[in-house]
Amino acid sequence: MLSFQEKEAIIAKFPELTRKEVSMGRLNYHYEESLHEKKIVVRHLHENGNGFVYVGKLPQYEADKKGFINIRDFSSEELEEVLSESVRYLSTDPAGKPVNEAWVNREGTELHLKEENGYFNLYYGDNLEEGFDSAKEAHLYLKEDGFRLKSGGAM
């Protein structure tokens, strides 16, 4: 588990986040340029290493009902990745653009999920692999097959 100071150092790599002290020695980090109503990226970072990061409705995370995940046991790589994804998510238009995502598995195989004419099509290169009626159905399929949204996956 990363210490409080290590987590702070990783968060400091994101100059777009603003540090705010809250009760009981905890810290929040806000993303003031958020296009969403939500501005808090890191919530209640505590000296014991506990804290939460906002992931909203990102499909690769199981967030609580407010859209946060616990980062207590995250590695430095996991923390950097989730912070990047959170800022990217909050930088997208909440009105929604068509889905266009890159997903990758442990072997490095990359698939692209694209919303086309109301359907969610999964491509390997230029080849159509599968079609789905909803993004949720496609995300479930991808997760079950060991894929995760590629860092920088929104295209």
**Sign of the C-alpha dihedral computed for residues 102, 98, 120 and 136 taken in this order:** positive
Q: What are 111-140's pLDDT values in tens digits?
A: 999 887 667 899 999 999 999 877 778 888
Q: How much is the pTM?
A: 0.63
Look at strands 68-70 and 127-132 and give their pairing: unpaired
Q: What is the pLDDT of residues 33-72, one digit of tens each?
A: 887 888 999 999 999 989 999 999 888 899 999 999 999 9
Contact 29, 40 (CB under 8 A): yes
Tokens linked to 26: 């905890």
